[in-house]
Amino acid sequence: MNSYPRSARLLLACILSAWLSSPLAAPAAKLWERWTAHDPGATMEIDHRRWNDWLARFVLAGPDGINRVDYGGVGSAGRKQVSAYLDDMMSIAISRYGREQQRAYWINLYNALTIDVVLEHYPLDSIRDISSGFFWSGPWRKKLATIEGQAVTLDDIEHRILRPIWQDPRIHYAVNCASLGCPNLQAEAFTAANMESLLDKAAREFVNHSRGAQVVDGRLRVSSIYDWFEADFGGTDAGVIAHLKQYAAAELAAALASVERVDGHDYDWRINDLGRQ
């Protein structure tokens, strides 16, 4: 590479860095057949109280509408609580549970693994400062858990299990990437009982926040989530706008009424740390 002009090397490095650090480089939703197994007649419930207690203690709502995590205040006891919860989840034979128990399980597991890996590397400016290997920025391709003997990554959970099995765009409001631009990490655990109400709450919070969608001078700017995963939101600008209208409060709904296209998108990758408001 040193044989190329310096300008060309810099351009190539910038392009490579941007691509590797973006969810655009993440796998498309692809069904992992193994995890379609479930027991439709199962009545067993998974206990998420340990995770629920942790979230209630360390996730705080900011006056700007963004939930932040008190990473600096977690301490050794808080870290052990996350680890103990993950150990509990990895001891479960999840294929023996019903589908709604499974959805809550995978969402909570994703979020707890994300918190755990951030705490492991804390302090940091962005989750993208954590490497999954020489080429990959972010922890999404790291094998972080072993479920029923199978090592899984965050990408596996989101793109090979949650998205293709449930095919619900609200999944994007449930899983959290520890960034200010991400939909809020909820201050309570997902369960089969609260799933629908909590997914709708998360959707409304994000859609009606400026980092989700805003119309300025008639031009719609949205989170990059709606660009990266446009297929999950209808596959077109019109599909994205229709999705936003489902959850828009009065002010945004009125602004969206005259909008026909998306004019831009962005995302804030800074860590969602309470100590960095």
pLDDT at residue 7, as a whole number? 52
Residue 58, domain member (yes or no): yes
Do 61 and 194 form a contact (C-beta atoms < 8 A)? no
In-domain check, residue 258: no
Query: How buried is residue 169: exposed, middle or buried, by Cβ count under 10 Å (0-12/13-18/19+)?
Result: buried
The whole-number average pLDDT for the span 34-48 is 97
- pLDDT exceeds cutoff 50 at 35: yes
Segment 191-213 mean pLDDT: 98
Is residue 170 included in any domain, yes or no?
yes
Residue 173's pLDDT is 98
Instruction: Give me the phi and psi of 171, to 5 degrees please.
Output: -55, -35
Q: What is the pLDDT of residue 5?
A: 61
Tell me how far CA of residue 9 lies from CA of 16, 18, 25, in angstroms: 10, 14, 21
Residue 49 reports pLDDT greater than 90: yes
Within a domain: 150: yes
pLDDT for 34 = 95
Write the pLDDT tens digit of every residue in 98-109.
Answer: 999 999 999 999
**Are residues 108 and 154 in contact, defined by beta-carbon separation less than 8 angstroms?**
no
CA 178, CA 191: separation in Å to the nearest integer?
21
The answer to the question of residue 128 being in a domain is yes
CA–CA gap between residue 270 and residue 65 (Å, rounded): 16
Based on the structure, what is the number of domains in the chain?
1
Question: What confidence tens digit (pLDDT) does each residue in 80-95 have?
Answer: 999 999 999 999 999 9
Q: Tell me the average pLDDT across 229-236.
A: 97
Consecutive H or E run containing 131: none
Q: Is residue 88 part of a domain?
A: yes
Q: Is the pLDDT of residue 18 over 50?
A: no
Query: What percentage of the chain has pLDDT greater than the value 90?
Result: 86
- HEC profile for 164-187? HHHCCCCHHHHCCCCECCCCCCCC
CA angle (199, 224, 273) in 5-degree steps? 70
Q: Can you tell me the distance from the alpha carbon of 110 to that of 91, in angstroms, rounded to the nearest whole number?
A: 15
pLDDT in tens, 116-169: 999 999 999 999 999 866 567 899 999 999 999 999 999 999 999 999 999 999
Based on its alpha-carbon atoms, the radius of gyration of the chain, rounded to whole angstroms, reads 19
pLDDT given for residue 134 in this prediction: 59
For the chain, how far is it from start to end, CA to CA, in angstroms? 41
Confidence check: pLDDT of 19 > 70: no
d(CA 113, CA 118): 9
The pLDDT, as a whole number, for residue 25 is 47
The whole domain housing 75 covers 21-192
- Is 52 a member of any domain? yes
- Mean residue pLDDT across the chain: 92
Tell me which amino acid residue 104 is: A
State the pLDDT confidence band at 21, using cuts at 50, 70 and 90: very low
| 81 occurs within a structural domain | yes
